[in-house]
Amino acid sequence: MRVLLVALAALVAAVSAPAQEPVIVALGDSLTAGLGVPAEDAYPALLEARLRRAGFAYHVVNAGVSGDTTAGALRRLDWVLRARPAIVIVALGANDGLRGLPVEAMRDNLVAIVTRLRAGGARVLLAGMRLPPNYGAPYTRAFAAAFPAVARQTSAPLLPFLLEGVAGMPALNQADGIHPNADGQRRVAETVWRSLRPMLQQ
């Protein structure tokens, strides 16, 4: 509950931000929230710094909630849209997969999330996710395939894998082997930046 309140507080603050500064919302779970690292080391904060270095005056709001699923994020979209985001980075699904939830339900939730965000005036960057092989080949294949399927159905730009170059790399992850450390978060921020750059307006 506390992490949800923190995320909602960030969104409320974004509503009060200067109108001339467009908002990018990073909607996700603990990978976005930056579990285990200081807020300034989570990829949304690093992404904002990267944007500003490149001359883009966007405010990036971290709307990551640890443990969140696609169903949970779908329920809080009204809060996201109150920030009037220009772009929303949708980085969800990891907890659906880790809990073994039906891939079809996750896919439907992601389609609904993208559709509602667009109806609210936001452009969407969809981030893909993968699972470790111990979840079984049929499930992991179906899970990985859901993200490009959603991108095709909604015509949303797809970042193929949020943790590209980070997953499975001990030096870039915390002791749990799942959550990026500060170095890993920097790698994630650069991965997101490359997919986000074509969507930006100076």
> Which residue among the candidates 96, 155, 176, 183 is catalytic per the annotation?
176
Is residue 16 included in any domain, yes or no? Answer: yes
Task: Count the Cβ atoms, other than its own, within 10 Å of residue 125.
Answer: 22
Task: Assess if residue 182 is contained within a domain.
Answer: yes
pLDDT in tens, 110-139: 999 999 999 999 999 999 999 998 999 999
The answer to whether residue 146 sits within a structural domain is yes
Distance, CA of 183 to CA of 127 (rounded, Å):
20
Q: What's the predicted TM-score (pTM) here?
A: 0.91
- Flag whether 139 is in a domain: yes
Q: Is 59 a catalytic residue?
A: no
pLDDT for 20: 75
- 3 vs 200, more confident: 200
Domain count, the chain: 1
Task: Pick the catalytic residue from 29, 41, 59, 179.
Answer: 179
Task: Give the containing element (helix H, strand E) for 199.
Answer: none
Distances (CA, A) of 16 to 20, 44, 120, 138, 158: 11, 19, 18, 46, 30
* Residue 152 belongs to some domain of the structure: yes
Condensed to tens digits (0 to 9), the pLDDT of residues 76-121 reads: 999 999 999 999 999 999 999 999 999 999 999 999 999 999 999 9
Q: How confident is the model at residue 8 (pLDDT cuts 50, 70, 90)?
A: low
| Average pLDDT of every residue of the chain | 93
Q: What mean pLDDT do residues 136-144 have?
A: 97
| Any domain includes 144 | yes
Give the range of the structural domain holding residue 160, as residue numbers without chain letter. Answer: 2-197
For residue 3, give both structure tokens. 């992490």
- The CATH number that applies at residue 58 is 3.40.50.1110
Residues 6+ apart with CB under 8 A from 175: none
Give the per-residue pLDDT at 162: 98
Residue 202 lies in a domain: no
Residue 23 located in a structural domain: yes
pLDDT tens digit string along 39-52? Answer: 999 999 999 999 99
Q: Rounded mean pLDDT of 163-172?
A: 97
Catalytic residue among 29, 30, 68, 96: 30
